[in-house]
Amino acid sequence: MNAPPLRHGIIGTGFMATVHSRAVRRSSGVLSLVAGATPESGQAAAVSLGARAGAADAAELVASPEVDVVHVCTPNNTHAPLVRLALQAGKHVVCEKPLATCPDEAAELAGLAAAAGVVAAVPFVYRFYPTVRHAAAMVARGEAGPLWLLHGSYLQDWLSTPGRSNWRVDAAQGGASRAFGDIGIHWCDLMEFVTGHRITALVARTAVAHPERAGSVVTTEDGASVVFETDRGATGSLVVSQASPGRKNRLEFSFDGTLASLAFDQERPEELWVGGTNGNRTVLRDPAALDPAAAGYAVLPAGHPQGYQDSFDAFVADVSRQVRGDQVPGLPSFADGARAARITDAVLRSARTRTWVEVPA
Amino acid sequence: MNAPPLRHGIIGTGFMATVHSRAVRRSSGVLSLVAGATPESGQAAAVSLGARAGAADAAELVASPEVDVVHVCTPNNTHAPLVRLALQAGKHVVCEKPLATCPDEAAELAGLAAAAGVVAAVPFVYRFYPTVRHAAAMVARGEAGPLWLLHGSYLQDWLSTPGRSNWRVDAAQGGASRAFGDIGIHWCDLMEFVTGHRITALVARTAVAHPERAGSVVTTEDGASVVFETDRGATGSLVVSQASPGRKNRLEFSFDGTLASLAFDQERPEELWVGGTNGNRTVLRDPAALDPAAAGYAVLPAGHPQGYQDSFDAFVADVSRQVRGDQVPGLPSFADGARAARITDAVLRSARTRTWVEVPA
Amino acid sequence: MNAPPLRHGIIGTGFMATVHSRAVRRSSGVLSLVAGATPESGQAAAVSLGARAGAADAAELVASPEVDVVHVCTPNNTHAPLVRLALQAGKHVVCEKPLATCPDEAAELAGLAAAAGVVAAVPFVYRFYPTVRHAAAMVARGEAGPLWLLHGSYLQDWLSTPGRSNWRVDAAQGGASRAFGDIGIHWCDLMEFVTGHRITALVARTAVAHPERAGSVVTTEDGASVVFETDRGATGSLVVSQASPGRKNRLEFSFDGTLASLAFDQERPEELWVGGTNGNRTVLRDPAALDPAAAGYAVLPAGHPQGYQDSFDAFVADVSRQVRGDQVPGLPSFADGARAARITDAVLRSARTRTWVEVPA
Amino acid sequence: MNAPPLRHGIIGTGFMATVHSRAVRRSSGVLSLVAGATPESGQAAAVSLGARAGAADAAELVASPEVDVVHVCTPNNTHAPLVRLALQAGKHVVCEKPLATCPDEAAELAGLAAAAGVVAAVPFVYRFYPTVRHAAAMVARGEAGPLWLLHGSYLQDWLSTPGRSNWRVDAAQGGASRAFGDIGIHWCDLMEFVTGHRITALVARTAVAHPERAGSVVTTEDGASVVFETDRGATGSLVVSQASPGRKNRLEFSFDGTLASLAFDQERPEELWVGGTNGNRTVLRDPAALDPAAAGYAVLPAGHPQGYQDSFDAFVADVSRQVRGDQVPGLPSFADGARAARITDAVLRSARTRTWVEVPA
């Protein structure tokens, strides 16, 4: 604990910038600089986020000797140039997902990060729920038996009505995929992380709830249904939607093995449901009951709910540990971000061609 | 109520025969005869089910003037010949699902029933939960808006372990499809009943949890994942399994429209979840709260749970009403049974060819 | 099964008469006669319930040689005279709860029934949920450890609004206690049945939500809160209400021992929650998972919900077995009905005197 | 936001010190000093909590010009002397509950704080769940109608086994009441906060699950059952336990009015259940759906769970606002802490005398 605190800079002034800033503070890090679209917006955000100062622009921020870790929290189409800038400056980088809007660019960034030898992470933060870590440990220990059926959904409702729109709806800013690229990849990342399986092929149908929003033709999907297969022979299914009324942020999975099924719902993350033929049980986020690999992420006693911000805080804490030289298992990297881009690309291709398509490893 | 009671005969002596016999009794019908594989088993079942007598065999039962309605509750591969026998004798028929093990035979039986002018029903009994009827009424009234995303699952666990087997596992007795043909069709029937949509095309992957059971190679699927599209442009997804530990009989659906999502879980049938962007509510099986088309199926006050047998009883009561000449809306017919066979066939073809296939109307 | 079917007569034509008639039919019994307030109403009910005939009045019904078991389903203040009539005629009797509106009369009826040597039962039917039987078996085997804290509630909402009224609101017809006498005694019976503890003393406060209903001053309570102690040293708590909006028939308990807590909710009777310090599990109503004493009441496979009517059916089936000479454990008797009256009386006395009062054994 | 950050000092090095320190950091405050039982423990905690320095002892900490707000996070019997010390030094004080172990001392501290004119707060942090604030707003607007029945429980299981003990079990350190004084007062505070009712009289029974722990006779209660009445005529019921296996920190309430029932479970704080006779709904912690008085405490979008630490953070943020001169509604003060001591005292007296006792206003 004698090391000086890590110094962070955040590019972006939206809601996710706030979430990152809280996690920086919880990690005992210093929030040095914030950069916005204009010097004024960066300055204003610096005040509201409690940063030491605002940067004139992203270039100034990444060049600052006061910044060790750059957080990219801007619209999707700007991720790649900003990440390149930060990597060129030799900085560690946390880039919001999706890492890039096409697989080639995502792969390029992952390569640059590897070459730079810095920490380069993507906040697939659902990995940081203690119950999720416990599920992964149970699978690794074989307690569920071979997993043969992997299924679930990620449903939101903020785009249920045709009057709602957002920069993500516009493929030019958000990328060719919207619902899948924004949230579907969270589910896929979580599935691969917990099960150790990798999606090898898939078939998908994308769907639009509202062909027009705010007077413009919608070119990105509101939802997608996917069937997939994995390198270990499992069959999978995923439903993604941003227009399912009443579902705020319902990421849920059931990973069914021959000995047990493991089910999780992000809206009730304190519980992991473990189904067995002779009875079902609930594993609570109880430090005393969790696998050691999970218990470290339980920072409150059982029954005192941890939530989304706690997971985000744990992610940034792990980034910080990795920056300091620890080998931190389970930290989602640019390689994971690049994989997400390949899966997204496969979903769009399958939907377009109405065929099964392979997903490059 | 002055009409004499309807007289029923049951072919089969297994568990479903018991369920049918309870429903006959609840309907104030008379259980005249039971036929088993041997005269002795028919006699024994007649005693245990409280029938007036045992029949020597199915032929004697269908020919008896004491029988108005024949219930076929035997293994799948015997449905077609027994139904033909009953129709030839001019009897009304209730045939357990699947109506037949291939679409051509199912279509033939539907045609014979139509020609005979009798009541010919398949117990897709989940239609008879009052909350399901209420969901259908809400959709019909447009309260959910256009449905664009239809998803759910039907999961069981009784074949989770490799030691478990059953005549259904053998394609010769149960048909080429097991999990889908046995339970997947329940979900599809329920979806089409509630939404009014019809599946027009699908892509599926079937899966096996245990390649061998009880020393024999398994030739029928333990599960299936399906993506489909409907005649009204919706996208759908269904996961079916008979080997998901802890899931006893979990049929659940979410039908998501632009105004509301409607979700139901057969293991908690007293509740219909209605999601909205501004708040979610639960419609209870409360006679005072249900649509008139549903309230008639609520035969107990709210909070006094109705269950599976109550739904089965309502099905047989509706069969009886139809026999007496009423036009009963929503009674699942042989035509519905034939449709189920076409969908099952499409699932198997899609899984075999790894392509989207069309589902004949 | 060679015995001739038992023949039942029902006095009363309201909703509970329907529930009893269904249970008679399910038990393969014969519903011989129905008696109402007038010969005409008895005749009409006989038709609607499918009885063989209507009786001119209760006296004719109890005297009929076609009736083995008399069911008393009339307003509370008529229970005692009708039960006396039936017992004098040597008939077995099922009397709706409360057995009588004061403890002396209830004790007298219990004594008369014992002297008559007939079966005399009160439908405390919640005992007949298989999960409740399983809970009782767990307690008896010591799996929960000594129970030290017993708590729960029984909440309804049908009298939430001041416009709602009913004969039960009138003390002259329903008895001095309404909410407690009508539903509180269900909870107490269930607690004593499952735990084996007996309430020895209690302190209570009764409450009224609406001092007037339909223009009349309300003299019976809408709810009650009770603290009690048991012969084995446990502490208990019960909340009863008929005016808690949204609670249709929510009887729930948690019986907490030093090894486990057992929790049940009548609105979700397929599940028994078993809490442990190292994890919680759910016992499903699965014939394969239940204690043998409970499994016999599971007449459907797990996941096919049983409900209230199934429990009522099981109660009448057990009455029938007892009539035929079996010793049926757990059948709620007139002695149990008399005990309920003593507890009700104690609640009213405690509320009136604002003191702890003893409950006679 | 131009004001310099508030500077905090924490006395105590246990788990609650960690929770306080996180909240200080989230509020952008500075954690200046930490004091422990020894200079060494204070120093060690300063490192682990990220404070600027360790204090030699509590006296040094409260005297430091680097400290604006003193947090007392020590065993119960030390609260009073430490609070006196801090108030004498003119500091703002946050004191863990119970404020004191007897009502006189608590009243004295509340008086001293008032005389000092500083901010003096007790972390009744469950007030800071947004759904709780929404419930309070609904009650205030009359949406539930007059509340007539208030009931619930606060159950834990960390003392279920006789081998578990803790300084709280010892009356000399923890006070004469354990379960009620530790957690029962949370429920009472929350009830009075949400409903605006005040408990005027109560009757209670305390109970012990294990008469001995770790070889010593237990003199404090493991649980309590309480019936109470309020100044507005409502009837209440509360069950408290620290030995209910499987219940980790289950504070739940149902406040039943003539128009609606409002139910909350602290283990699932994202949801407020609103029962109505015509249907039930769930209010989610959705900034768009909450009352303005509640929405400000929703710092994440709906579906991204907030938890216990978020509530604690909000409490410390409100303390900070109050220190800066804002009038912050709903901040739990020493007056609230003194009231909790009076209720605790009444519970013990009632249990001892087996009578109803009045609770001083």
- Identify the CA nearest to B236 among candidates B152, B139, B156, B179: B152
pLDDT at B1: 44
Task: Please determine, looking at this structure, whether the domain spanning C7-125 carries the CATH number 3.30.2130.10.
Answer: no
Choose the closest CB to A250 out of D25, D268, D303: D303
pLDDT at A215: 86
Strands (E), chain C: 7-11, 30-35, 53-54, 69-72, 92-95, 120-121, 147-155, 199-207, 212-213, 216-217, 223-230, 235-241, 250-257, 261-265, 271-275, 280-284, 357-358
Burial category of D329 from C-beta neighbours within 10 Å (exposed 0-12, middle 13-18, buried 19 and up):
exposed
| Confidence at C1, pLDDT banded by 50, 70, 90 | very low
pLDDT at C166: 85
Strand-pairing partners, residue A236, are A150, A228
**CA gap D252, D265 in Å, rounded:** 4
| CATH 3.40.50.720 boundaries in chain A | 7-125
Three-state DSSP state, B31:
strand
| Residue type (1 letter), C49 | L
CA geometry: angle at C333 spanning C328 and C338, to 5°? 160
At residue D196, does pLDDT exceed 90? Answer: yes
Most D CBs within 10 A among A19, A24, A27, A304, hence the mutation to make, goes to A304
H helix count then E strand count, chain B: 12, 17
**Average model confidence (pLDDT) for chain C?**
96
Omega prior to B98 cis, within 30 of 0: yes
At residue A196, does pLDDT exceed 60? Answer: yes
User: With an 8 Å Cβ cutoff, are A257 and B245 in contact?
Assistant: yes
Chains that touch C (3 or more CB pairs under 8 A): A, B, D
Sign of the Cα torsion A153, A157, A163, A166 reads negative
User: With an 8 Å Cβ cutoff, are B47 and C1 in contact?
Assistant: yes
Q: Please give the residue of chain D at the shortest CA–CA distance from C238.
A: D237
Q: How far is C302 from chain D (nearest CA, A)?
A: 24
At D212, list the tokens.
């001995």
The 10s digit of each residue's pLDDT in D234-290 is 999 999 999 999 999 999 999 999 999 999 999 999 999 999 999 999 999 999 999
At residue C3, does pLDDT exceed 80? Answer: no
D174–chain C Cβ distance below 8 A for any pair: no
The 10s digit of each residue's pLDDT in C189-244 is 999 999 999 999 999 999 999 999 988 899 999 999 999 999 999 999 999 999 99
pLDDT at C2: 52
Q: Are D241 and C256 in contact (CB under 8 A)?
A: yes
Q: How far is B272 from chain A (nearest CA, A)?
A: 13
The 10s digit of each residue's pLDDT in A321-342 is 999 999 999 999 999 999 999 9
Cβ-Cβ contacts under 8 Å, C47 against chain B: 1
Cβ-Cβ contacts under 8 Å, B258 against chain A: 160-162, 209-210, 243, 245
At residue A1, does pLDDT exceed 50? Answer: no
Most D CBs within 10 A among B272, B282, B284, hence the mutation to make, goes to B282
User: With an 8 Å Cβ cutoff, are C258 and D247 in contact?
Assistant: no
pLDDT at D160: 95
Q: What is the largest CA-CA distance in chain D?
A: 63
Q: How far is B43 from chain C (nearest CA, A)?
A: 12
Cβ-Cβ contacts under 8 Å, B239 against chain A: 149, 151, 237
**CA gap B175, B157 in Å, rounded:** 20
Strand order in the sheet with A69-72: A53-54, A30-35, A7-11, A69-72, A92-95, A120-121
Three-state DSSP state, D323:
helix
At residue D8, does pLDDT exceed 80? Answer: yes
Three-state DSSP state, C140:
helix
Across the B/D interface, how many CB contacts are shorter than 8 Å?
Answer: 24
User: With an 8 Å Cβ cutoff, are D258 and C210 in contact?
Assistant: yes
Three-state DSSP state, B344:
helix
User: With an 8 Å Cβ cutoff, are C284 and A283 in contact?
Assistant: no
Write down the residue that tokens 């809408």 correspond to.
C222
A266–chain D Cβ distance below 8 A for any pair: yes
Q: How far is D285 from chain A (nearest CA, A)?
A: 10
Q: Residue B62's Cα: distance from chain center in Å?
A: 23
Cβ-Cβ contacts under 8 Å, D269 against chain A: 305
At residue C167, does pLDDT exceed 80? Answer: yes
C289–chain A Cβ distance below 8 A for any pair: yes
Q: If contacts are CB pairs under 8 Å, which of residues 229-248 in chain B contact chain C?
A: 247-248
D282–chain B Cβ distance below 8 A for any pair: yes
Low-confidence stretches of chain B (pLDDT < 70) are 1-2
User: With an 8 Å Cβ cutoff, are A284 and C279 in contact?
Assistant: yes
Across the A/D interface, how many CB contacts are shorter than 8 Å?
Answer: 98
Choose the closest CB to A249 out of D28, D303, D310: D303
Q: How far is A258 from chain C (nearest CA, A)?
A: 18
Omega prior to D98 cis, within 30 of 0: yes
The kind and range of the H/E element at D212 are strand D212-213
Q: How far is C241 from chain D (nearest CA, A)?
A: 8
Q: How many CB atoms lie within 10 A of CB A347?
A: 31
Burial B184-196 (b: 16+ CB within 10 A, else e): bbbbbbbbbbbbe
Q: Residue A35's Cα: distance from chain center in Å?
A: 22
User: With an 8 Å Cβ cutoff, are D280 and B282 in contact?
Assistant: yes
**CA gap C120, A124 in Å, rounded:** 65
CATH of the domain spanning B129-303+333-358? 3.30.360.10
For A14-49, what is the HEC assignment?
CHHHHHHHHHHHHCCCEEEEEECCCHHHHHHHHHHH
- Phi, psi (rounded to 5 degrees) for C69: -125, 130
The 10s digit of each residue's pLDDT in A77-119 is 999 999 999 999 999 999 999 999 999 999 999 999 999 999 9
Q: How far is C90 from chain B (nearest CA, A)?
A: 28
Most D CBs within 10 A among C147, C149, C278, hence the mutation to make, goes to C149
Q: Are A120 and A333 in contact (CB under 8 A)?
A: yes
Across the A/C interface, how many CB contacts are shorter than 8 Å?
Answer: 25
**CA gap B56, B152 in Å, rounded:** 44
Q: What interface predicted TM-score (ipTM) does this complex get? A: 0.96
Q: Are C119 and C70 in contact (CB under 8 A)?
A: no
| Residue type (1 letter), C280 | N
Cβ-Cβ contacts under 8 Å, C155 against chain D: 256
The 10s digit of each residue's pLDDT in C27-41 is 999 999 999 999 999
- Identify the CA nearest to A242 among candidates A179, A166, A329, A311: A179
Give CA torsion, residues B345, B347, B353, B358, to 10 deg. 80
User: With an 8 Å Cβ cutoff, are B281 and D278 in contact?
Assistant: no
Percent of chain C with pLDDT over 90: 94
D184–chain C Cβ distance below 8 A for any pair: no
| CATH 3.30.360.10 boundaries in chain D | 129-303+333-358
Q: Residue D348's Cα: distance from chain center in Å?
A: 19
Q: How far is A49 from chain B (nearest CA, A)?
A: 30
Give residues with Cβ within 8 angstroms of C81, minimum separation 6: none
User: With an 8 Å Cβ cutoff, are D249 and A301 in contact?
Assistant: yes
The 10s digit of each residue's pLDDT in C264-322 is 999 999 999 999 999 999 999 999 999 999 999 999 999 999 999 999 999 999 999 99
Mean pLDDT across the stretch D340-344?
98
D267–chain A Cβ distance below 8 A for any pair: yes
Most C CBs within 10 A among B6, B182, B248, B313, hence the mutation to make, goes to B248
The kind and range of the H/E element at C116 are helix C103-116
At residue C66, does pLDDT exceed 70? Answer: yes
User: With an 8 Å Cβ cutoff, are B309 and C300 in contact?
Assistant: yes
User: With an 8 Å Cβ cutoff, are A304 and D249 in contact?
Assistant: yes
**CA gap A196, A216 in Å, rounded:** 41
User: With an 8 Å Cβ cutoff, are D26 and A26 in contact?
Assistant: yes
Across the C/D interface, how many CB contacts are shorter than 8 Å?
Answer: 154
Write down the residue that tokens 């899931």 correspond to.
B247
Burial category of A254 from C-beta neighbours within 10 Å (exposed 0-12, middle 13-18, buried 19 and up):
buried
| Confidence at D1, pLDDT banded by 50, 70, 90 | very low
Cβ-Cβ contacts under 8 Å, D278 against chain B: 288-289
